[in-house]
């Protein structure tokens, strides 16, 4: 039995004989590429070559900076050193002629307030008798002596230290058998307080049951005078009427106390306050 020849599948189609010239020969086309093979090809854009212009400019700038620095050092090395100025300066010629005259006490208030503070106190009226608390005193009150005149000396002492107490002076007299007058000037240091008014210079606190009248002291800002309408009474003591005046100017405060067996007239306390403030 004759063996059948093996079928060749990959052989190209044989050309047809010339006898079949009337038939149209089919065109030969390339086999299509499978989709998987196309996906395996990476889609990478070609890399651009980095330009050398920027790098050359940077290198040139760095070389120029180094060259300039070296040239500066070389120039400075060739120069003579600059001499330093002499330590001793020439003496300036002194102005000739007299200097200005110092201000008088009327023009410079510090001349008055830095001097003897007792000279600023009102003079004792002619014929008036000195009070017991000023008898034998030179008129000065130190911190302890001034604080001792308050109802609570310990608390007053601490407050005066905080307020930068500097010094105080006092004077007083008796007007017949009816009134006694006590005047104090207290000076504070202005390193801490701009003025004496800022350290709480006010009239003595009077309880609400003690009726009183008050009036401003002209030319003193917040200065006021107070007069009790009724006398103070205490067992074993004589009833006393009272009046006070308080004001401040610069670094000095004024305190005036008037007590008597009769009502203190407004004119009396106001006159004392105005005349005392005129001397400051």
For 230-242, write each residue's pLDDT tens digit. 888 888 778 889 9
Mean pLDDT of 96-116: 75
Distance CA 164, CA 199 (A): 9
Distance CA 170, CA 132 (A): 12
Report which DSSP code applies to 189: -
pLDDT exceeds cutoff 90 at 186: yes
pLDDT exceeds cutoff 80 at 60: no
- Bridge partners (DSSP) of residue 256 are 183, 245
Q: How confident is the model at residue 38 (pLDDT cuts 50, 70, 90)?
A: very low
Angstrom distances, CA of residue 256 to CA of 155, 170, 200, 203:
22, 10, 16, 10
Of the candidates 178, 176, 276, 273, the residue with the CA atom closest to the CA atom of residue 224 = 273
Q: How confident is the model at residue 118 (pLDDT cuts 50, 70, 90)?
A: very high
Between 58 and 120, the more confident residue is 120
Mean pLDDT of 244-260: 92
Inter-residue contact 21 to 15 (CB < 8 Å): no
In this predicted structure, what is the pLDDT of residue 65? 64
Residue listed under structure tokens 């009724």: 230
Between 16 and 132, the more confident residue is 132
Q: How confident is the model at residue 89 (pLDDT cuts 50, 70, 90)?
A: confident
Work out the mean pLDDT of the chain and round it to a whole number: 75
Of the candidates 183, 191, 188, 199, the residue with the CA atom closest to the CA atom of residue 118 = 183
> What is the per-residue pLDDT across 200-226, written as a single tens digit (0 to 9) for each?
444 445 555 467 788 999 988 889 999
In this predicted structure, what is the pLDDT of residue 67? 66
Residues in Cβ contact with 110 at an 8 Å cutoff, skipping those fewer than 6 apart: none
Between 182 and 97, the more confident residue is 182
Q: Among the ranges 20-34, 57-71, 163-177, 181-195, which has the highest mean pLDDT value?
A: 163-177
Mean pLDDT of 3-12: 47
In this predicted structure, what is the pLDDT of residue 49? 53
pLDDT exceeds cutoff 80 at 257: yes
Q: How confident is the model at residue 264 (pLDDT cuts 50, 70, 90)?
A: very high
20 φ, ψ (degrees, to nearest 5)? -105, 40
Inter-residue contact 244 to 172 (CB < 8 Å): no
Between 14 and 264, the more confident residue is 264
Of the candidates 235, 226, 185, the residue with the CA atom closest to the CA atom of residue 206 = 226
Q: How confident is the model at residue 114 (pLDDT cuts 50, 70, 90)?
A: confident
Distance CA 210, CA 219 (A): 28
Distance CA 185, CA 190 (A): 16
Q: What is the DSSP string of 80-98?
A: PPPPPPPSSPPPPPPPPSP
Angstrom distances, CA of residue 189 to CA of 166, 186, 199, 277:
6, 10, 11, 19
Percentage of residues in the chain having pLDDT higher than 70: 62
Q: How confident is the model at residue 193 (pLDDT cuts 50, 70, 90)?
A: low
């Amino acid at each position: 039995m004759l063996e059948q020849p093996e079928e060749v599948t990959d052989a190209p189609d044989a050309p047809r004989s010339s006898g079949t010239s009337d038939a149209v020969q089919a065109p030969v086309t390339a086999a299509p590429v499978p989709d998987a093979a196309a996906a395996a090809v990476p889609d990478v854009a070609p890399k651009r070559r980095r330009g050398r212009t920027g790098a050359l400019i940077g290198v040139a700038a760095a070389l120029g900076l180094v060259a300039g620095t070296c040239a500066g050092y070389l120039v400075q090395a060739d120069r003579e050193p600059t001499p330093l100025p002499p330590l001793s300066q020439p003496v300036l010629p002194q102005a000739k002629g007299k200097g200005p005259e110092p201000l008088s006490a009327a023009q410079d208030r510090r001349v008055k307030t830095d001097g003897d503070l007792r000279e600023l106190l009102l003079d004792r009226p002619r014929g008036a008798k000195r009070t017991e608390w000023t008898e034998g005193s030179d008129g000065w009150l130190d911190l302890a002596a001034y604080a001792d005149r308050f109802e609570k000396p310990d608390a007053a002492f601490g407050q005066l230290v905080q307020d930068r107490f500097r010094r105080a002076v006092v004077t007083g007299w008796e007007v017949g058998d009816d009134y006694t007058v006590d005047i104090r000037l207290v000076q504070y240091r202005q390193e801490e307080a701009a003025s004496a008014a800022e350290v709480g210079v006010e009239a003595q606190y009077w309880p609400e049951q003690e009726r009183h009248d008050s009036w401003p002291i002209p030319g003193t800002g917040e200065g006021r005078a107070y007069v009790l309408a009724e006398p103070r009474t205490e067992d074993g003591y004589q009833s006393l009427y009272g009046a006070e005046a308080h004001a401040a100017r610069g670094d000095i405060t004024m305190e005036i106390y008037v007590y008597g067996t009769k009502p203190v007239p407004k004119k009396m306390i106001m006159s004392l306050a105005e005349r005392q403030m005129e001397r400051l």
